[in-house]
Amino acid sequence: MTTPPPTPDALAYDLTINDRTHSVPSAWLGESLLYVLRERLGMPGSKNACDQGECGSCSVQLDGQLVCSCCVLAADAADGDIRTVEGVASGSGRRDGAPEGELSDVQQAFLDEGAVQCGFCIPGLIVSVHDLLDRVPDADELTVREAISGNLCRCTGYGRILEAVATVQSRRAGGGGS
């Protein structure tokens, strides 16, 4: 990343994202974690679609909790453990032995089931579905629907996304998926 642009007022802190420490040398106090990820740290995978926690496109995990990064003040996340969509594919903490850069099983299932259209909501959904299946591996369909009810998708009507979640569950349980 290059030098960040000048800022109304400057604040410096470090963020730990996907197990790596990133310095934020000069930021405005009012910047959300989403803004800092996208505009200061070169991690635009988390998307900005509403700026008010009403769409889930910016979902990340903070200290193991699924949250909207647009509602997290970046400077307040300084000693937190932040996991973004960029960390999902690396295999870190996700799947045993998954090589660096390989898609996670959730990501693969989204591709296999045609869950991706425009794709803007997808990074947030990937993070949310990982969060759900790590906590509730055998979630039934209603549980899945409730768990992703904070992730708006305008293209798919959620049908293929629900299929993808079912496929992950089936594969993790030893089945082949569809």
Partner 1 sequence: MSIARPTDLDGALAAIAERPDAHVLAGGTDLVVEVNLGHRRPDAIVALRRVEELRRHELTDTHLELGATVTYATVERDLAELAPGLAMAARTVGSPQIRNAGTIGGNVGTSSPAGDTLPWLRALDAEVVLVSAADGERIVPLADFITGPKRTIRRDDELIRAVRVPRVAGPQHVAKIGTRNAMVIAVASLAIVVDTDARRVRVGLGSVGPVPLRATAAEDLVSDALDWDALTCDADTVTAFARACSEASTPIDDHRSTAAYRRHAVGVLAARSLRRCLS
Partner 2 sequence: MSTTTVPPGTRGDVEGGIGRTVDRPDGTPKVSGGFAFSSDLHHDRMLWGKALRSPHPHARIRSIDTSKAAAMPGVHCVLTADDVPGNPNHGLEHTDQPVFAADVVRFHGEAIAAVAAEHPEQALRAIRAIEVDYEILEPLTDPEAALDADPIHPDGNLFRHLPLRHGDPDATGEVSVEGTYEVGMQDQAFLGPESGMAIPTEDGGVELLISTQWLHVDHGQVAACLDLPPEKVHLALAGVGGAFGAREDVSLQVHVCLLALATGRPVKIQYSREESFHGHVHRHPARMWFRHTATADGDLVKLEARLLLDGGAYASTSPAVLANAVCFAGGPYVFPNAVVDGWAVRTNNPPCGAMRGFGVVQACFGHESQMDKLADALGMDPVELRLRNAMKPGDPLLTGQIITGTAPVREVIEACIAHPLPGEPGPDDPLMTLPGGAGLTAERRDVRRGTGIAVSIKNLMYSEGFDDFSTARCRLELSPDGQPVATVQCAAAEVGQGFVTLAQQIARSELHVERVLLGPADTSIGSAGSTSASRQTWMSGGAVQIACRAVREELLARAAGREGEPLAGSRRVRFDLRGSDVVDLDSGATFPVVDLLAEGPIDLTREHHHAPTDPLDADGQGNAHVSFAFAAHRAVVDVDPELGLVRVVQIATGQDVGKALNPRAVTGQLEGGIAQGLGLAVMEEIVVDDGRVRNPSFTDYLIPTALDVAPVVATLIEQPEPGAPFGAKGVGEPPTISSTPAIVSAIRAATGRDLTRVPVRPQDICL
160 binds, among partner 2, partner 1, none (CB under 5 to 8 A by kind): partner 2
36 binds, among partner 1, partner 2, none (CB under 5 to 8 A by kind): none
Q: Which is nearer to partner 2, 79 or 154 (CB)?
A: 154
Residues 135-164 close enough to bind partner 2 by CB under 8 A: 142, 144-146, 148-162
Helix (H, G, I), strand (E, B) or coil at 61: strand
| Residue ranges in contact with partner 1 by CB under 8 A | 9-11, 28-30, 32, 51-54, 56, 59, 65-68, 70-73, 75-76, 78-79, 128, 146-147, 149-151
Q: Which is nearer to partner 2, 80 or 128 (CB)?
A: 128
**CA neighbor of 126 nearest in space, from 58, 173, 172, 71:** 58
Interaction between residue 178 and partner 2 (CB under 8 A): no
Q: Are strands 81-83 and 11-17 parallel, antiparallel or unpaired?
A: parallel
Question: For the stretch 87-104, what's the b/e string if a residue is b when 16 or more beta carbons lie within 10 angstroms of its beta carbon?
Answer: bbbbbeebbeebeeeebb
* Residue 169: alpha-carbon gap to chain centroid: 19
